Amino acid sequence: MKILMLSKALVVGTYQRKAEELAALPGVELTVAVPPVWHEPGAGPVELERRHTNGYQLAVLPMWLNGHFHLHFYPGLKRLVELIKPDVFHIDEESFNFATFQGMQLGVQHRAKCCFYNWANIDRRYPPPFSSFERYNLKHAAAAIAGNHEAAEIIERHGYEGPIHVLPQFGVDPELFYPAPEPLPETPFRVGYFGRMLEQKGLLDLVEAMARLPDNVHLLLVGYGDLLPKVETRVGELKLQQRVEIKPRVASGDVADEMRKIHTFVLPSRTTSRWKEQFGRVLPEAMASGVPPIGSTSGEIPHVIGDAGLIFREGDPADLADKIRTLMEQPELRMELARKGRQRALDYYTQRALAKQYYDVYQQMLEQP
């Protein structure tokens, strides 16, 4: 099975582990095409890393209109497709992007079975030319992959009639994210949040919940963003300085160590008119670390957590405080959720588990007439 995967996300070295795991499966000849750099809007350039590149070919293609999610494309892609003649062409872009349209046309011309990857979980009707890109891609794809259940429903509403698979884009490394070797002291009870500090992440709800909890509950916030000054101000207004620790920047290699220092992880995301939580990548990291997650009802969060954590009503600090108190007062429940979470991460959310799930999707694509 010759597989070509076009993915700007795979400039990130840790994500390349999925490609290694996929390439190790029976009968796979994998080529991964990436740009030399991706200019992430609002965050700057992400240079290509070469961290996990064993067992497959890494092809570096120049990208035009770099930094434009929906308009970028690869002038050298035609030659690469002609050279490889893939059986399966995985275009790791949304159905309404020009790069997906470019790849889909080339795949169809060379009789490859093609799929795309959609994250979008807010239903929108796209103006030309993006509506034309979407119509073409939905018509010609052998499979659609969605990062969340709402994205899958939207793909269907927009007219796609083929198979849809709900899968995360990348997984977690269980050798990096693993449970603490010894149980943490019961007090202080440490709550954590790691990620961007933005309005829609619901961090002010988490701070408000802390004000409803006893003094032996402490909060660790790891991350930065536009909301950080408001968070610091509210912590001061509620006189929580002694109980809230903020670390704006932590080295990526140290995140797993910080995760093992908390009793529960909270993802308090809030849905807006333009955004809802698409997945919550840090949730599998917490579960793999044996840290029970508490998540809001926003978007995909309940599906990711499953039966391995607790869910609260988004935008409700009182309900969040109750869930934190439940885990603090019931260590047996906390241990049970930790066990379930670790197993859930191993079964569904590691790079190896995901590689096998993608492999099964590709096999089904090739079996279609």
Confidence of residue 254 (pLDDT cuts 50, 70, 90): confident
- DSSP per-residue letters across 110-166: TT-EEEEEE---S--PPPTTHHHHHHHHHHH-SEEEESSHHHHHHHHHTT--S-EEE
Residue 260, CA atoms < 13 Å, CB-side half-sphere: 14
SS3 308: coil
Number of H helices, E strands in the chain: 13, 15
pLDDT at 42 over 80: no
Place of tokens 């709550």: 191
Question: Residue 273: CB partners within 8 Å, gap ≥ 6?
Answer: none
Domains contained in the chain, CATH given: 2-171+350-367 (3.40.50.2000), 189-348 (3.40.50.2000)
Rounded to two decimals, what is the model's pTM? 0.88
Give the C-alpha separation, 202 to 317, whole Å. 10
> Which of 7-16, 37-46, 207-216, 281-290 shows the lowest per-residue confidence on average (mean pLDDT)?
37-46
Supply the DSSP symbol for 13.
G
The percentage of the chain sitting over the pLDDT mark of 70, rounded to a whole number, equals: 99
Residue 232 has pLDDT above 90, yes or no: yes
Q: Does 250 score more than 90 pLDDT?
A: no
DSSP 132-147: HHHHHHHHH-SEEEES
* pLDDT classification of 364: cutoffs 50, 70, 90: very high
266 within 8 A of 294, measured Cβ to Cβ:
yes
Q: Longest Cα pair distance anywhere in the chain, in angstroms?
A: 65
DSSP state of 200: G
CA distance 265 to 295: 8
pLDDT value of residue 146: 97
Half-sphere exposure of 198 (CA within 13 A, CB side): 12
Classify burial at 364, counting beta carbons within 10 Å of its beta carbon; exposed 0-12, middle 13-18, buried 19 or more. middle
CA 128 to chain centre: 29
- Whether the predicted pLDDT of 135 surpasses 90: yes
Query: Tokens 């140290």 — which residue?
Result: 254
**Tokens 């070919």, residue located:** 57
pLDDT at 369: 80
CA dihedral 185, 186, 188, 191 (to 10 degrees): 100
| Mean pLDDT on 56-61 | 98
Average pLDDT over residues 114-142: 96
Residue 248's pLDDT is 86
> Residue 218: beta bridge partners?
190
**Mean pLDDT, rounded, of the chain:** 96
Say what the pLDDT of residue 341 is: 98
322-358 residue pLDDT tens: 999 999 999 999 999 999 999 999 999 999 999 999 9
* Beta bridge partners of residue 265, listed in sequence order: 192, 293
Q: Give 307-318 as a 3 state SS string.
A: CCCEEECCCCHH
Phi, psi (deg, nearest 5) at residue 193: -140, 130
Element (H, E) at 255: helix 255-259
Q: pLDDT tens digit string along 211-222?
A: 999 999 999 999
